[in-house]
Structure 1
Amino acid sequence: MATGPIDSRLLEQLGINREQVRQKRNDQLGQADFLKLMTTQLSNQDPFKPMESGDFLAQIAQFGTVNGITELQKSFQDFSSRIFSGQALQAASLIGREVLVPGDSMLHMAGNSEQIAVDLPNAATDVEVSVYTASGQLVDTLRLGPQEAGLLNIAWDGTDSQGNPVPTGEYRFEATVRNGTSASAANLFMSTRVLSVSLDRNGGDMQLETEGLGRVDFSDVRRIA
């Protein structure tokens, strides 16, 4: 059986303005508020016209629902906090580590060697990786010969085709995979160091600030060294 509206005298005894009740959203009624309303209503009922058992049970059920929702919200908040804490620990452990992420260009520092990788879905009769300057000038071509399917790791020593060290700057890489007479491009990955990590409390992906490659999503990381 549905319960009737709350009497104005009951609201006055509780120090609640009826207009405030109208303006207050239903989901803002807390457990303490609900319990106070119910107990006050019971203590002020007419002894000759007591609340029907159906009405009383309905209010008990409403109280249980409010209490259950409150506990459920608290459980979700605790669960979310644990997840965020776990992500924070994972993020802290990544700083300073080498990660392999998708990309075909990087900022090369003179004198350094660069670690890159080519993703080979199938075995190839020949694989080549060409290195270009930011303006498109060919620097060197790494001829790697026949390769099995999988992730092919490559080290570029930072020199041109004559063996001379190249200056600091942006360099782009292209991988060409040949099978007999056919040739196709392949996906490349760059190895870089993690400088810092950004976390999203709203559940978004972890962001890694990397050396030479900028910001990348953690979900794009292929390997952590």
Structure 2
Amino acid sequence: MGINATTNDPVNNDIDAQKKPQKSQSDDMRDTFLQMIVTQMQNQDPTKPMDNTDLTSQLAQIATLESMNNLNDSVSVISKQINSGQSMAAVEYVGRGVLIPGSDIALVPVSDDKNNTRVKADNPLPGTDQSIQQYSDSDDGHDEPEKSGFESTPFGFFLSKPADKIEITIRDKNKGIVRTITVEGETKVDIYDKIWDGRNDNGELVADTKGKYTFEVKATMKGEEIPQTNIFRLKYATVHGITPGAGAPLLDVGIGNSVPLSDIYKAYL
């Protein structure tokens, strides 16, 4: 059964034209340059012919220009391959929890149900309970487990200089201090994550369990404070999907929020 082209579809019946390779931008520029030189030689004054040095210089410019265009073509191909690889890598993060730059903390209800999946902090600060239950935004129709308390989403920091004392300050939406956590001992250059139990310095559960909290990190070494430029605070987010970016894919971590792959400091299973 044949397929007929519609009257609105352009049809190219010139098979030779279809097979003819298209010239690249480099080829067009080279041909134009050569035509200019030939025209210049044809119209030169016979009594004052073109200097060999000028001709050599112009031919060298053609070679340099062509090399630069070939290099641009090669870089473009490599860039496309890199972007393709980044897209494949980005897909692996969809549905996973990650740590990205930020200082936000949220509390979530937890239960003692052992069947519930809990995220573990991979490199926690010493002496803390490092687990948090994962909750889905969708209702699966099952009865909600009995809540026994609250825990924060994972949060942490990347320390680019060693320290011997870490002080974490958690604040409420009014910037008031809710909890201060101090860890003394050697802390090496690394990424650290932590879970907050939702309690204040008096051991009481905070009243606003649905509010947003922020945290600050102060580090010292032998009594000397480490600059904040060496401390990168990290917040928890869930990767919902992939969005196109300028030259590289972006990870969708919430409405109106997308981050590049380079912003992923840690991913949770």
TM-score computed with the length of structure 2 as normaliser: 0.48
Tell me the distance in 1 between the aligned counterparts of 2:215 and 2:238: 19
In structure 1, what is the equivalent of residue 163 of structure 2? 122
2:107 touches 2:209 (CA, 8 Å); kept in 1? yes
> Shift of residue 155 of structure 1?
0.8
1:176 touches 1:183 (CA, 8 Å); kept in 2? no
In structure 2, what is the equivalent of residue 7 of structure 1? none
1:91 touches 1:197 (CA, 8 Å); kept in 2? no
Tell me the distance in 1 between the aligned counterparts of 2:198 and 2:244: 31
In structure 2, what is the equivalent of residue 131 of structure 1? 170
Name the amino acid aligned to 1:103.
G
2:26 touches 2:66 (CA, 8 Å); kept in 1? no
Kindly tell me: are residues 86 and 179 of structure 1, through their superposed partners in 2, closer, same or farther at Cα, counting changes over 3 Å? Answer: closer
Q: How many residues align?
A: 188
**Over aligned residue pairs, what C-alpha RMSD do you find?**
4.8
> Shift of residue 184 of structure 1?
4.3
Name the amino acid aligned to 2:153.
E
In structure 1, what is the equivalent of residue 213 of structure 2? 171
Give % identity: 21
Q: Deviations over 1:112-161 (max 9, x none)?
A: 5321224362222xx332221111233333x3432322344321133444
SS at 1:117's partner residue? strand
Q: Deviations over 1:65-121 (max 9, x none)?
A: 898777655444332221221111112122222322332224x25425321224362
Kindly tell me: are residues 166 and 30 of structure 1, through their superposed partners in 2, closer, same or farther at Cα, counting changes over 3 Å? Answer: same
In structure 1, what is the equivalent of residue 89 of structure 2? 90
1:132 touches 1:171 (CA, 8 Å); kept in 2? yes
Report 1:149-164 matches (<5 A): 149-150=187-188, 151-160=191-200, 161-164=203-206
In structure 2, what is the equivalent of residue 219 of structure 1? 262
SS at 1:123's partner residue? strand
SS at 1:84's partner residue? helix
Kindly tell me: are residues 197 and 146 of structure 1, through their superposed partners in 2, closer, same or farther at Cα, counting changes over 3 Å? Answer: farther
Report 1:46-57 matches (<5 A): none
Q: Structure 2 regions of 5+ residues with no counterpart?
A: 1-24, 34-51, 110-150
Bigger mean CA deviation after superposition, 165-174 or 210-219: 210-219
Kindly tell me: are residues 211 and 65 of structure 1, through their superposed partners in 2, closer, same or farther at Cα, counting changes over 3 Å? Answer: closer
Tell me the distance in 1 between the aligned counterparts of 2:67 and 2:262: 36
Kindly tell me: are residues 128 and 166 of structure 1, through their superposed partners in 2, closer, same or farther at Cα, counting changes over 3 Å? Answer: farther
Tell me the distance in 1 between the aligned counterparts of 2:156 and 2:168: 10
1:97 touches 1:224 (CA, 8 Å); kept in 2? yes
Kindly tell me: are residues 123 and 198 of structure 1, through their superposed partners in 2, closer, same or farther at Cα, counting changes over 3 Å? Answer: farther
Kindly tell me: are residues 165 and 147 of structure 1, through their superposed partners in 2, closer, same or farther at Cα, counting changes over 3 Å? Answer: farther
> Shift of residue 207 of structure 1?
3.8
SS at 1:156's partner residue? coil
Kindly tell me: are residues 154 and 147 of structure 1, through their superposed partners in 2, closer, same or farther at Cα, counting changes over 3 Å? Answer: farther
Tell me the distance in 2 between the aligned counterparts of 1:176 and 1:213: 30
1:116 touches 1:190 (CA, 8 Å); kept in 2? yes
More helix, by proportion? 1
2:94 touches 2:239 (CA, 8 Å); kept in 1? yes
User: Are residue 190 (structure 1) and residue 230 (structure 2) matched?
Assistant: no
> Shift of residue 163 of structure 1?
2.7
Q: Deviations over 1:154-202 (max 9, x none)?
A: 211334440356422321112344667x47476332232223444322x
Name the amino acid aligned to 1:135.
N
2:26 touches 2:69 (CA, 8 Å); kept in 1? no
